[in-house]
């Protein structure tokens, strides 16, 4: 099977900032591929390069078998690109926007209605409303419809769920799950919890790809026992855990602190005694099943120790 996206040793800098450092990546046909990483990790730079808006400093990038520098004209009609910022015409209505984007790709709304239907149907009742008056979630659905209207072979979605409420986010991913039957999708997100909805994900941090795998495999790669520690004085608890001689990682997740130990068989009683001596009484410690986020944090830590 031919990869839809093939990236070899891609580098891109803006002045002193090395935004992408020797990135290599492959995305296969009909995959829902996630690029997960914090703000400023290089996701948007990577996506703009894929969308033929940036030219790489070095390395090869091919999209749908075409080189992004040489054959950008051939790639563009086959792409559906949704930038991170809402970039449709706010002073045009929902329908005018989608019809305009259909027309510049030489097609019509009617012709590809079937394809956009799962998304467009939800905003069709508001088709005469100005795009600028839509809510955040509806804007994203409109943008997705406009990106889909010309039947692209690859959808590039740059943080489509940023700034969208939790319910709309779930809906949005449900739609991607339907769409991926017809089109390959690469999507960037800063939200770890969205990673599990992808077929494969790549972790990106400071312009480097840390790991590429299925969400399940990533979780499984987290081998160490993970503990959730909680106490009402969280600040003191974090400091105490970080100063514990055997502590490996200490991260805040919601209400509890996720903790891993340097030893293969951690001594929980010893830890409790230590915390008691530090003035923290009635600390609750429980075993946890690691999530994607724990894996990401572990990878970041490993990378930091490496460097």
Partner 1 sequence: MQTIRFLLYKEFLQIFRNRVMLPILFIMPVVQLLVLSFAATYELKEVHFVLVDLDHSPSSRDLSAKFQASGYFALADATSNIEEAITMMDRGEIRMILTIPQNFHRDITIGRPAPVQLMIDAVDGVSAGLIQSYSGAIIRDFNSDRKGGIFLQTISQPNQQYQSINVIPVYWYNPDLNYINFMVPGILVVLVTMIGVFLSGMNIVREKEIGTIEQLNVTPIRKYQFITGKLIPFWIIGMVDLLIGLALARYGFNIPFLGSLWLILAVAGIYLVLVQSVGLLISTITSTQQQAMFIAWFMMVIFILMGGLFTPIESMPVWAQNLTLANPVAWFIKIMRMVLLKGAGWYEIKWMVLLLTGMAAFFIAASINRYNKTSS
In this structure, the strands spanning 79-82 and 154-158 are: parallel
**Shortest CB 51 distance to partner 1, Å:** 5
Residues at the interface with partner 1 (CB under 8 A): 51-55, 72-73, 76-77, 79, 81, 83, 85-92, 96, 100-101, 103-106, 146
Nearer to partner 1, 132 or 270 (CB): 132
**Shortest CB 89 distance to partner 1, Å:** 6
Nearer to partner 1, 66 or 253 (CB): 66
Nearer to partner 1, 13 or 122 (CB): 13
**Shortest CB 190 distance to partner 1, Å:** 19
Nearer to partner 1, 156 or 257 (CB): 156
**Shortest CB 79 distance to partner 1, Å:** 6
Nearer to partner 1, 61 or 229 (CB): 61
Nearer to partner 1, 150 or 231 (CB): 150
**Shortest CB 159 distance to partner 1, Å:** 13
Strand partners, 286: 228
82-102 residues labelled b (16+ CB within 10 A) or e (exposed): bbbebebeeeebbbbbbbebb
- 37 in Cβ contact with 204 (< 8 Å): yes
């Amino acid at each position: 099977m031919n990869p839809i996206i093939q990236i070899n040793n891609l580098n891109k800098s803006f002045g002193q900032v090395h935004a992408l450092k020797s990135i290599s990546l492959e995305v296969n046909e009909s995959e829902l591929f996630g690029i997960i990483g914090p703000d400023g990790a290089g996701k948007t730079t990577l996506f703009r390069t894929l969308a033929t808006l940036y030219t790489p400093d070095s390395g090869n990038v091919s999209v749908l078998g075409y080189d992004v520098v040489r054959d950008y004209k051939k790639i563009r009609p086959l792409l559906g690109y949704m930038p991170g910022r809402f970039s449709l015409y706010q002073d045009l209505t929902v329908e005018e926007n989608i019809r305009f984007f259909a027309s510049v790709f030489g097609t019509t709304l009617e012709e590809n209605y079937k394809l956009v239907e799962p998304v467009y149907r939800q905003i069709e009742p508001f088709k005469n409303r100005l795009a600028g008056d839509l809510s955040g979630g509806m804007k994203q659905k409109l943008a997705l419809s406009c990106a889909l209207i010309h039947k692209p072979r690859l959808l590039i979605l740059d943080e489509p769920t940023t700034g969208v409420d939790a319910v709309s986010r779930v809906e949005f991913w449900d739609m991607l799950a339907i769409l991926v039957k017809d089109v390959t999708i690469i999507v960037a997100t800063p939200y770890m919890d969205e990673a599990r909805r992808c077929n494969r994900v790549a972790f990106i941090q400071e312009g480097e790809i840390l790991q590429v795998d299925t969400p399940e495999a990533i979780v499984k790669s987290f081998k160490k026992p993970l503990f959730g520690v909680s106490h009402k004085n969280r600040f003191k608890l974090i400091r105490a855990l970080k100063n514990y001689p055997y502590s490996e990682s200490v991260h805040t997740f919601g209400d509890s602190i996720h903790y891993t130990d340097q030893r293969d068989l951690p001594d929980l009683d010893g830890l409790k005694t230590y915390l008691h001596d530090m003035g923290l009484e009635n600390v609750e410690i429980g075993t946890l099943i690691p999530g994607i986020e724990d894996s990401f944090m572990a990878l970041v830590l490993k990378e930091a120790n490496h460097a």
